Amino acid sequence: MATRRTRWQEAGNSGNFGKRFAELVSAGEDIDGEARLADTLLPRGARVLDAGAGMGRVTAALLHRGHDVLAIEPDESLVRQARATYPGLPIQERDILDLTPDDGPFDLVVCVGNVMVYLAEGTEREALRAMRAVLGENGRILVGFHLQDPPPHARTYAASEFEADLTAAGLRVDLRAGTYQLHPANDAYGVWVLSRALD
């Protein structure tokens, strides 16, 4: 269960989001862009955490590519949708803030699709620390969110503030891009690959 109510829960967003993605799945649309980039960052058969997995699309795409994936998602209705859409999907109703080091180690934590701008207010550093704590020795975090025009009820999170928060959480930037196809960094959307800062 969520320890603090997320902006996502405050917004009551899951209905529209879930419906939109259900339509995309049944129309056979490409919803695997984030998973394709994640896959290029990984050895075969890697251990992955999908943090804030929504209705499970990224987890499903990474399972399909042969990885061992755990999805966590605090929104109960999205967990239900994930189980109905992808039977057998390994998803737990949990919050990033509830992760413990025993949940790891993971080769990659995927935290994409605006999770960072829907966290509970003031929990960004704590969430980054929690994800860092489950990384394996060479583990990395793939994170992406809108930098401008955030979706309804999401916060505005500037790249400079995010980078200050990740540094405070003991992480460093290995790569920053503007899309999951690695277009150059821009002011509209941020995609980062993070790893543990050297001591």
What does the binding site for ligand SAM look like in residue numbers (CB under 6 A)?
A: 6, 8, 17, 51-54, 57-58, 73-75, 78, 95-97, 112-115, 118-119, 127
Looking at the Cβ atoms of 28 and 199, the one nearer to ligand SAM is: 28
**C-alpha pair distances (Å), 165 with each of 75, 89, 116, 133:** 25, 32, 11, 15
Looking at the Cβ atoms of 96 and 191, the one nearer to ligand SAM is: 96
- Asked if 191 and 180 count as a contact pair (C-beta separation under 8 A), the reply is yes
Amino acid at residue number 35: A
Greatest distance between any 2 Cα atoms in the chain: 48
Looking at the Cβ atoms of 69 and 115, the one nearer to ligand SAM is: 115
Least distance to ligand SAM, CB of residue 199, Å? 27
Residue 117, both tokens: 């701008």
Cβ-proximal residues to 161 (8 Å cutoff; 6+ apart), any chain: none
Alpha-carbon span 81 to 102, nearest angstrom: 27
Least distance to ligand SAM, CB of residue 195, Å? 20
Looking at the Cβ atoms of 29 and 138, the one nearer to ligand SAM is: 29
Chain residue whose CB lies nearest ligand SAM: 113
Looking at the Cβ atoms of 138 and 188, the one nearer to ligand SAM is: 188
Least distance to ligand SAM, CB of residue 138, Å? 23
Least distance to ligand SAM, CB of residue 198, Å? 27
Q: Which of 146, 112, 149, 145 is nearest to 131 (CA)?
A: 112
3 state DSSP class of 1: coil
Alpha-carbon span 55 to 50, nearest angstrom: 11
Looking at the Cβ atoms of 8 and 86, the one nearer to ligand SAM is: 8
Least distance to ligand SAM, CB of residue 62, Å? 12
Read out DSSP for 120-137? PTT-HHHHHHHHHHTEEE
Least distance to ligand SAM, CB of residue 166, Å? 16
